[in-house]
Structure 1
Amino acid sequence: MTIRVLSINTINKIAAGEVIDRPLSIVKELTENSIDAQSSEISIEINRGGRNFISVIDNGIGIGREELEIALERHATSKLNEDDINNIQFLGFRGEALPSIASVSKMKIISKARGANDAWEINVSGGQKSQIKPASQLTGTRIEIRDLFFTTPARLKFLKSEASETSACIELVNKLALSREDISFRLIANEKKIIETKSQIGSILELTSRIEDILGKTFIENTVKFSHECDEIKVYGYVSIPTFNSATSVNQHVFINKRIVRDKVLSIAIRAAYRNLIPHNRFPQVAIYLDIDPQFVDVNVHPTKAEVRFRDEQKVKSIIIDAIRSAITASNLRSSTEVADNAIKLFKPETAFNTNQEIIKQTGFTDLIRNHEAALGKEALYKKNPNDHQKASEKNHEAKYISDFVAKKMLQNNVTHNSKLAAETDKSPDVELQNTVDDTEYPLGFAKCQIDKTYIVAEKSDGLILVDQHAAHERITLERIKQQLKEGNIASQMLLIPEVVDLGQVMTERIVEKKQELERFGVSIERNGISQVLVRQVPAILQGLNVSAFITVIAENIYLFDDMDLIQDKIDEVWGNIACHSSIRAGRVLNLEEMNGLLREIEQTPLSSQCNHGRPTFIRLDLKDIRKIFERL
């Protein structure tokens, strides 16, 4: 087999397979070029999901006539300083995008450089360039792509549907708009305007208009702004309160130096920050921006530049976790507005009317109702026929009797119900005095009663609070355990008979390396031969623990991920279960003193808006929500 050098056109087609695998890739590469060109306005248009037509227009610095043809050469770029290739200040730097796109499509470039008198145009079809000619164009660049993959038609079979490709482009432009609030973006798909955002002068934290345009008002209402700086790393943005989460990670937007990234380290850090705050199968909604010296992050590890590599992963992860946790803790006693909205939908105002009808039906007054309706029909005849006045009066008397009976029956029902509630809550003599106290210093107000021996109803001057007593006490118990650990007060229990755990040679070596780190969790191990460890003590709080299974899971996590945060996940899970089983159970009757004591503890406990499993511990219904139920708004 003869060795030969591939042609430039073939090389470009191969490179296109890495860089340009679908229309989305073209939109990304061209739009990022426009951003790098210092544009303040970028307009994108696609047709049929980008298969037939893609256009990107900007008002950037443009390309001069003498550089227009060079720009289509492979590895030709103005963005990289060859003397310092690690200091990458732009989104693009390899010089592969334009020649790769041109090799698999029909491309037209029209550009006018800033300060130039004329615009110039060049056409490329399947890698073959035309002569440069004069054109009409404002300052900036316009690039049109037609008949994508016409030189490699087999690639078309691997594309998704037009709707899927269009949706992917919309999502990309939204993310780009989130990354650069100082640029106006417009997206037109199939001749319909889909996205149009205006640039803003203030930062993404100072002004929320860009975030609200892309992610919606609900996102703003249920997230917390934060900003944290440590050494050469600054992290800021918006993180959701724990009760505002979603079923997928699609609403997690992360940017490093204004670059869209999908990085495992950052995903783990976000998950760790919400540990024991949301359910395991749910994801927080975040928009996080990381500014870091380019020398400390490598963005040249993947052709699409979506993945990065940090010089110090643990430091970056710790900073992100600390920043998010601090923001969530500062937002304590906030619950998702969606939780309250969902609660409002469950109220059924028509119940009272149906109850009236049921009482009337059960008491046999249906005939009287009919007679009453007939009497009302004859009211207009009173003056014409005075003899009927007595009969009409009798009918009105019957109707009044019905109304009084129904009211009395409902009152009796309410009195009986309230008596039951009073019996359950064991009302103390100082309730009236307590209720006269100004509740502004108590965010959760004062307890009024207990429902179903599970839920506490509390009142504030500006609304109503519903508390799940078990979920709330779960969080209080877990935070006490965590505080003991932080203070080094977790007592270890020496095993009467040390547990021998067979892990195999490799996992034994890895877990022994983490011996000192495990000791801070109250776990003491030592090597026992080649493939076994001897467990001598475990935290006293972990009573009844299956030691062998517990150590095996820890060893597996160390072997697979070499990440103590994941081990912390497992230990927190065990502690969360312990906190759950040792908390106030649903079905336990509490008196008002106990209920108010629990409310005060919730107010003083960090992260108490949700239990260890991520469920909300309380729902707040503001007066406006209550008025909405009764249609008084």
Structure 2
Amino acid sequence: MGAQDRNISPPRIRQLDEAAINRIAAGEVVERPASAVKELVENALDARASRIRIEIADGGRTLIRVTDDGHGIAAEDLPLALSRHATSKIDGTDLLQIHSFGFRGEALPSLGAVGRLTITTRATGSDGAMSLHVSGGRIDAPRPAALRAGTVVELRDLFHATPARLKFLKSERSESMAVTDAVRRLAMAEPGVAFDLRDVSDGEDKVLFRADPAASLADRLATILGRAFAENCMTLDAEREGHRLTGHAGLPTYSRGNAVHQYLFVNGRPVRDRMLTGALRGAYADVLAKDRHAVAALFITCPPTLVDCNVHPAKTEVRFRDAGLVRGLIVSGLKHALAEAGHRSATTVATATLGAARAEPPRPAAPVYQMDRPSPRARDTAYTMQMPGFADASARVEPAPEPTPDAAPGYLGAARAQLHETYILSQTETGFVLVDQHAAHERLVYERLKAQAEAGGIAAQALLIPEVVEVGPWAERLLALDLSALGLGLDPFGPGCVAVRETPALLGPVSAEALIRDIIEELEEDEDATPLTLRRRLDAILSRMSCHGSIRAGRRMSAPEMNALLREMEATPMSGQCNHGRPTYVSLDLKDIERLFGRT
């Protein structure tokens, strides 16, 4: 640094003006149009609105209008509503006692700092309405207006005061989708409130989302997530040390390829929290592949003092006083629900199956009157006469005996055939079931392995000739982990090699090399694996191992074997899906099959 540089006086500290302060603060609260909609709708909910209408244009860039029938704002308080940190929701004495959506007093001033904001409101019991306009932080004087009740907040030209922010917005379609998602989440939080979201761009009036008041959360979720979710979800209600978990979560076979259908709420507030989503993912780890995601709407309620929702100005992040307790509540609550519903398979699987079966369009047929229908005895006689090799039509007709399974059939029925040495066809009282023999047996083997591991260790079988597997740098680490608890006996065998002398007895004859490769692949996700972390990943490793000991597609099975598999499925938790979340069976109703053939 030269002498001339040292002579330059340091910059002076100055106080920014109110307009600059508000624009800076707005950057934290209002990231995009969806953020503005969220803040305004939350204000409407805090005002005890029963109906909320949202209108946007150009994805929210040029117009956001929120109309509610809440209690409104008193005329004398209206100018104060545009001041930063002015709020009617808390008194500031205890920042942990938060019982409302908003409490920071930043939304309206921030919106007025970056756009053209007009508030028209009429407080309950007042003689008339008042309107206030603010643009770029400059507030006009209040004036009388016409409004029957509630509040209308109109925001035009978002970010006109900070045009550089406009460059960071996405396409109109993307911004509209983000707005819709924000409204959907708030609609889940308040099932009893009516929501109406419309796109009014270019003079149109297009409904983006609508939800009438619902009698229950289940009804609201059916409206938002669809009837298919309502038919394929589990109801949750668990409690632990003052924290309660409620809501609904989809069956593993009703999973999705992304996590956009996961909705989390804390004390009624929509949040996006890594710890909560991690707990949700962990609860489904046993029944979903890594590239599949559960559909769920989970609600955590607890005393306000046990959670801090003042972590970020946008209020989408929270911090629990005991995060481990909340995580454990979510995992245990979901696992309990999964165990109870483990035998169920999503009805959407059966629907897709029926959709794949295309029947020829039925031809118009003459009506069949009751007198034309054959009696059961006449029908049996006709069927007997049509059997190959029937020689004497006057012979005594006796129905063929039904095959008897080894055990009394349950909801999966009795096996009737094996198709392509891959699928088991089973007859039930109301239809039939098609079972994927490999997927089903994989789940059964997995549950047996877990039971053995929890009981003290998986039984091992010694190989007549140890199998040498080249594993490179993993040799030393595998030997250090002591895999005997998994039924694996390993010995060193030269540089970069291990000798497998024992494999899990439950798996039967397996390829030791393929088994070791799968375990290494699982452990590669945690390069610092230790005996402790290995125990945490035990289920994931056992899931991979179970695949090696399962009945393969292409293996012919006898009737007793097929029925034994069905009976074990009925007695095994979570047998409705394999370890990767695929359905193990499809159940089809006879009435649906009859429709395909025009028999109804």
Q: TM-score range by the shorter chain?
A: 0.7 to 0.9
- Residue 198 of structure 1 corresponds to 212
Partner of 2:93: 83
2: CA distance, partners of 1:283 / 1:625: 30
Letter in 1 for 2:88: S
TM-score (norm. length: structure 2):
0.80
What residue is the counterpart of 1:217 in the other structure? 227
Deviations 1:155-205 (A, max 9, x none): 2222112122112111211111111102111111122233232223x441x
Distance 1:132 1:301, change over 3 A: same
Q: Which residue of 2 aligns with 1:592?
A: 559
2:192 alignment partner in structure 1: 182
Q: Do structure 1's residue 556 and structure 2's residue 570 form an aligned pair? A: no
Distance in 1 (alpha carbons) for counterparts of 2:306 and 2:529: 26
Aligned 8 A contact 2:231 2:347 in 1? yes
1:442 matches 2:456: no
AA paired with 2:453? L
Provide the C-alpha distance between the structure 2 equivalents of 1:210 and 1:602, rounded to a whole number of angstroms.
34
RMSD: 3.9
Percent identity, aligned pairs only?
41
Moved more, 254-263 or 597-606: 254-263
Structure 1 residue 14: deviation in Å?
0.8
Instruction: Confirm whether residue 226 of structure 1 aligns to residue 236 of structure 2.
Output: yes
Partner AA of 2:320 in structure 1: F
Alpha-carbon distance between aligned partners in 1 of 2:172 and 2:521, rounded to the nearest angstrom: 49
Question: Structure 2 CA distance, aligned partners of 1:140 and 1:521?
Answer: 65
Tell me, yes or no, if the aligned pair for 2:74 and 2:122 is still in contact at 8 Å.
yes
Q: Could you say what secondary structure the match of 2:265 adopts? A: strand
Return the letter of the residue paired with 2:285.
Answer: R
Q: 1:261 to 1:523 in 2, by over 3 A?
A: farther
3-state secondary structure, aligned to 1:187: strand
1:13-53 superposed Cα distances (whole Å, 9 cap, x missing partner): 11111111211111011001111112111111111111111
Letter of the structure 1 residue corresponding to residue 106 of structure 2: E
Aligned to 2:402: 432
* Structure 1 residue matching 2:450: 3-state secondary structure: helix
Do the aligned partners of residues 134 and 538 (structure 1) sit closer, same or farther apart at CA in structure 2, a change above 3 Å counting?
A: farther
Match of 1:15 in 2: 25
Q: What is aligned with 2:546?
A: 579
1:247-283 Cα distance to aligned partner (Å, 9 max, x none) = 1111111111111111111111111111131221111
Query: Higher helix share goes to which structure?
Result: 1
Cα distance between partner residues in 2 of 1:253 and 1:71: 31
Matches within 5 A, 1:334-349: 334-349=344-359
User: Which deviates more from structure 2 when the two are superposed, residues 612-621 or residues 623-632?
Assistant: 623-632
3-state secondary structure, aligned to 2:402: helix
Give the match's secondary structure for 2:432.
Answer: strand
Alignment counterpart, residue 259 of structure 1, candidates 252, 269, 274: 269
Amino acid at match of 2:233: T
Q: Which runs of 5+ in 2 are unaligned?
A: 1-10, 364-385, 389-399, 467-471, 490-500
Counterpart of 2:368 in structure 1 is none
Which residue identity lines up with residue 593 of structure 1 in the other structure?
A: P
In 2, distance between residues paired with 1:550 and 1:523?
16
Task: Provide the rounded CA distance (Å) in 2 between the counterparts of 1:252 and 1:141.
Answer: 32
Match of 1:318 in 2: 328
Shift of 1:304: 1.5
CA distance in 1, matches of 2:101, 2:141: 29
In the other structure, the counterpart of 2:581 is 614
Which contiguous aligned blocks of 4+ residues in structure 1 show a shift greater than 6 angstroms? 491-494, 518-524, 537-544
**How much does 1:108 deviate?**
0.8
**Structure with greater Cα Rg:** 1
User: In structure 2, the residue corresponding to 1:234 is in which secondary structure?
Assistant: strand
| 1:103 is the counterpart of 2:113 | yes
> How many residues are treated as equivalent by the alignment?
535
Question: Post-superposition shift, 1:139?
Answer: 2.9
Alpha-carbon distance between aligned partners in 1 of 2:461 and 2:406, rounded to the nearest angstrom:
49
Q: Secondary structure at the match of 2:252?
A: coil
- CA–CA separation in structure 2 for the residues paired with 1:538 and 1:467: 32
Of the three residues 291, 300, 312, the one matched with 2:310 is 300
Residue 553 of structure 1: how far off its partner (Å): 4.0
* Residue in 2 that maps onto 1:113: 123
In the TM superposition, 1:395-406 aligns within 5 A as: none
Deviation at 1:469, TM superposition (A): 1.1
- The 5 Å alignment of 1:476-515 reads 476-490=444-458
Preserved contact between residue 110 and residue 142 of structure 1 (Cα < 8 Å): yes
Please give the per-residue CA displacement for 1:518-576, whole angstroms capped at 9, x wherever unaligned: 9998999xxxxxxxxxxxx99977976479958964753679xxx96xx6674323211
Between 1:97-106 and 1:87-96, the stretch displaced more is 87-96
Separation in 1, partners of 2:362, 2:295? 40
Q: Residue 242 and residue 29 in structure 1: after superposition, are their counterparts in 2 closer, same or farther (change >3 A)?
A: same
Question: Helix, strand or coil: the match of 1:277?
Answer: coil
1:276 maps to which of 286, 299, 302: 286
- Which residue in the other structure is 1:465 paired with? 433
How big is the shift at 1:240?
Answer: 0.9
Shift of 1:493: 11
Is the Cα–Cα contact under 8 Å of residues 554 and 570 in structure 1 kept in the other structure? no
Distance 1:538-1:434 versus aligned 2 partners, 3 A rule: closer
AA partner of residue 585 (structure 2): F
Residues in 2 aligned to 1:257 and 1:492: alpha-carbon distance in whole angstroms: 49
Q: Determine if the alignment matches structure 1 residue 133 to structure 2 residue 103.
A: no
Change (3 A) 1:343 1:9: same
Quote how far apart the aligned CAs of 1:625 are: 2.2
Alpha-carbon contact 2:457-2:486 (below 8 Å) kept: no
Query: Residue 141 of structure 1: CA displacement?
Result: 1.4
Tell me if 1:35 matches 2:45.
yes
Residue of structure 1 equivalent to 2:592: 625
Matched position secondary structure for 1:283: coil
- Determine the structure 2 residue equivalent to 1:250: 260
Alpha-carbon distance, 1:226 to partner: 2.0
* CA distance in structure 1 between the partners assigned to 2:334 and 2:42 by the alignment: 29
1:95-146 CA distance string (max 9 Å, x none)? 1111110011111111122222222111111111111122222332111111
Q: How far did residue 459 of structure 1 move?
A: 0.2
Asked if the contact 1:479/1:605 (under 8 Å) is kept, the reply is: yes
Of the three residues 328, 331, 334, the one matched with 2:341 is 331
**Distance across 2 between alignment mates of 1:324 and 1:184:** 30
Q: TM-score normalized by structure 1? A: 0.76
Among 161, 165, 168, the alignment partner of 1:155 is: 165
Partner of 1:474: 442
The residue that corresponds to 1:236 in the other structure is 246
1:432: Cα distance to partner?
2.0
SS at match of 1:284: coil
Does the 8 Å contact 1:465/1:619 carry over to 2?
Answer: yes
Report the secondary structure of 2:317's partner residue: coil
Is the 2:114–2:162 Cα contact (8 Å) retained in structure 1?
yes
Contact 2:405–2:560 (8 Å) recurs in 1: no
Shift of 1:346: 2.8
> Which one-letter code corresponds to 1:302 in the other structure?
H
Give unpaired runs (5+ residues) of structure 1.
354-411, 416-429, 525-536
Distance in 1 between the 2:88 and 2:300 partners? 25
Q: 2:74 aligns with which of 60, 64, 67?
A: 64
Say if 1:252 and 1:285, in contact at 8 Å, map to a contact too: yes
Q: Secondary structure at the match of 2:404?
A: helix
